Amino acid sequence: MYLQPAYRQAGNKTQINFSTSVTEHRISCRLVPMLRDRKYLEVVHYFLLEILKIEMRIFISHLTIQIMTKVKHIPDGVSAVLPMLVCRDVSAEIDFCKTTFNALEGVRRPGPDGKAAHAAVTINGAMIMIECEWPTLSSRSPQADGSSPVIIYVYVEDVDSAIEKAVAAGAKILLPAKDQFWGDRTGRIMDPEGHVWTISSRIKETSSSEREDRWSKILNG
């Protein structure tokens, strides 16, 4: 921020122009010729102080806005869409994700009873939140019968190996691994908390026309 005054004398009237980094001001005042120098200095001194006060308020306001605009509303390393799995046992779900998907634990926070109430894990860079059943919220874990309306689709290097690990960790196979028409090999499992996962590996790249032809053949028998 800066102040740059400029003065122009016209008879017994002095015009003072202030150009600043934020605003511009123009002040005109009549001066008594005999007291011109003293009054001139008094006027300049007074208006400079007033304008400095205004400029400081404007500067602080702009600085606050600039600081606020630097906040990233979508944090780095976080997807815009994050699944949140409500579980009866947060710790058990964390262990399942680590065993099956080699998940990395990022956050684990305890609840009032000391047990894990909130956690965040990443699977191949994708974050998933895990939350306990709070008495003040209506969200509950799905029934352990495979009927969960939400299915998490996750890609892994080896779908068959991942399903074996899931079963070893207490999961139930809902659909065995199978090659799909769009080029993935997928299997569907239900974890011990009732959440349903489709585990997939890409085994072949396909074009849009290939996928349409294959789907048409499936529909037509």
Q: Per-residue pLDDT for 62 more than 80?
A: no
Q: Which of 18-22, 38-42, 166-170, 186-190 has the lowest mean pLDDT?
A: 18-22
Q: Give me the pLDDT at residue 73, please.
A: 83
Mapped onto helix, strand or coil, the DSSP state of residue 103 is coil
Q: Per-residue pLDDT for 74 more than 70?
A: yes
Average confidence (pLDDT) over 180-197:
98
Q: How many Cβ atoms from other residues are within 10 Å of residue 59's Cβ?
A: 15
Mean per-residue pLDDT over the chain, rounded: 84
Q: What is the share, in percent, of the chain residues with pLDDT greater than 70?
A: 74
Distance CA 16, CA 211 (A): 76
Joined tokens for residue 64: 């606050």
Joined tokens for residue 121: 């894990």
Highest mean pLDDT among 3-12, 45-54, 211-220: 211-220
Longest dimension (CA), the chain: 108
* CA-to-CA separations, 34 to 9, 12, 38, 112, in angstroms, rounded: 15, 10, 9, 81
Q: What is the share, in percent, of the chain residues with pLDDT greater than 90?
A: 63
Average confidence (pLDDT) over 173-192:
98
Residue 44 pLDDT level (bands cut at 50, 70, 90) = low
Average confidence (pLDDT) over 136-141:
96
Q: Give me the pLDDT at residue 96, please.
A: 98
Q: Give me the pLDDT at residue 42, please.
A: 67
Average confidence (pLDDT) over 92-117:
97
Q: Give me the pLDDT at residue 197, please.
A: 98
